[in-house]
Amino acid sequence: MCLARYAEKLGIWTYDFVRHHWLGIINFHLLVFVIGVLEAPLLLHLDQDWMSKIFYGFYSFFCHQETSRSFFLFGNQVAICSRCLSFYSSVLFFGLWVSKKRIKPLHLKLALLLILPALVDVFLQILSIKESTNLIRVTTGLLLGMAVSLYLFPRAQKALDRLPSDENRPWEYQAEYVNM
């Protein structure tokens, strides 16, 4: 069998795998991400400073990591703030829920309504009108994650359901083009 045939089989397998397990792939990566958030303070607790710096450095791309807006584990700050931790955790939770149960996508108006508290809270803090609490940050992060998950994931599933079925791929293997 020629290399082109193997490449095509790999492409078909990848297409099928991603098409059927895309949300599982996202959920797995979110789980690893959230565990890593908790790993950073654990590593500090275990006197693995150099490794914890790698985790904190990585998560600094995703969050401001402000100490006053964060939770602590083993006396050490977790790698992202309370709102971000709540957001990523809720995206994971609702992603798992959507993967187990077919649900209708959230209407845009309802999604925007769920996002609104986070926007208001952030702008009130930016304008120094009111300092938020971790409880408010967790609540707004949860609502934000719920809105994103329940708006996007069911729509993505609908779009993937419209792709050609396993039997009707438009690029199906054509032997006469490969035997050169």
Q: Domain extents for the chain?
A: 3-164
**Confidence band for 169, pLDDT divided at 50, 70 and 90:** low
Cβ neighbours of residue 141 closer than 8 Å, sequence gap 6 or more: 82, 83, 84, 85, 86, 87, 90, 118
Tokens matching residue 133: 């609490």
pLDDT for res 130: 86
Tokens matching residue 37: 């958030």
State the virtual CA torsion across 62, 66, 68, 70 in degrees, nearest 10: 30
> pTM of the prediction?
0.84
Q: Is the pLDDT of residue 175 over 50?
A: no
Q: pLDDT digit string (tens) for 38-75?
A: 999 999 999 999 999 999 999 999 999 999 999 999 99
